[in-house]
Structure 1
C-alpha cells in the first residue's frame, strides 16, 4: 500500500475552515445575499438536532434562521469536524459547499414564498426517526 494512502491530513483548523467558507461565499451570486441581513456566520461548536437519538447522533451542519433580528445562515465547524474528521480536505470542501447551497436554497425559497426544501427536510427527519425506531 502506498504511504500517501495511510496518511490523512488533519482536519482543517477553524481559521482554515473559515477561509474555505469565505472562498465558497465569494463564488455565490450577490443576488443570493439580498435580505440575508445577518450574513453567513461560522460557529465553533457542534450542534445536535433536538430529536437526535441515542447511538445515532443527528448533527446539524448548517441552518437558515429567521428572527426579528433578520435572516442568517449558520455553519457549525464542530459538526463538520465530528462527521468528517477522517476525510480529505477536498471532501470537506465539497460537503461545505453543498451545505451552503442548501441553506441558500432555504433563503431563496423563503424570499419566493416557497417551502419545498423545508418539506424535503421534514421527510428526511421522518426517515431518520423511522430508521432509529427500527434499530431499537
Structure 2
C-alpha cells in the first residue's frame, strides 16, 4: 500500500493529517442484509483526530483474496483512490461520491429483494 500512496500526487494528501492506515480487521457494513457487504475502506473526519483513511485488509482479503496479486493490487489502489476522493470532496464541500455510494447501497437492496423474490 505504501507504493500506491507514494505514487499519487502530494497535493491530494493536503489536510489528511492522519494519513492512510491499514487495519487487519474484517468490517461488515451496518447496512448489510446478509453477511455479504464489507467495508473495504473509510474516510474519517474527526475534530480530535483530524482527517484520515482506514483500509480494512481483512475485508479486502475476503472480497478480493482470490485474485492474482496484480489484480488485487489494482483493487486496493481503487479503494485508496475512492477514499481519497471522499477526502477531496469533503474539503470542497461536495457530496457526489457519497451519493454514488448511496445509489450502490440501493442497488444492493434491490438485488437482495429480487433474489428473495425469485426464491419465494
TM-score of the pair, normalised by structure 1: 0.81
Q: How many residues of Structure 1 are paired with residues of Structure 2 in the alignment?
A: 115
Does residue 120 of structure 1 match 2:97? no
- Give SS of 1:35's match: coil
Does residue 26 of structure 1 match 2:29? no
Please report how far the alpha carbon of residue 134 of structure 1 lies from its aligned counterpart in structure 2 after TM superposition: 2.0
Match of 1:60?
Answer: 39
Does residue 35 of structure 1 match 2:18? no
Please report the RMSD computed on the Cα atoms of aligned residues, expressed in angstroms.
Answer: 1.0
Please report how far the alpha carbon of residue 85 of structure 1 lies from its aligned counterpart in structure 2 after TM superposition: 2.0
- 2:4 and 2:15 map into 1 onto residues whose CA distance is 19
TM-score of the pair, normalised by structure 2: 0.91
- Give SS of 1:93's match: helix
Unmatched runs of 5 consecutive residues or more in structure 2: none
Give a deviation string over 1:26-80, Cα, whole Å, max 9, x none: 01111111111111000000111101122x5101111111112211100010011
Match of 1:79?
Answer: 59
Unmatched runs of 5 consecutive residues or more in structure 1: 1-20
- 1:83 and 1:113 map into 2 onto residues whose CA distance is 31
- 1:114 and 1:85 map into 2 onto residues whose CA distance is 33
- 1:130 and 1:28 map into 2 onto residues whose CA distance is 36
- Give SS of 2:54's match: strand
Does residue 98 of structure 1 match 2:82? no
Larger Rg: 1
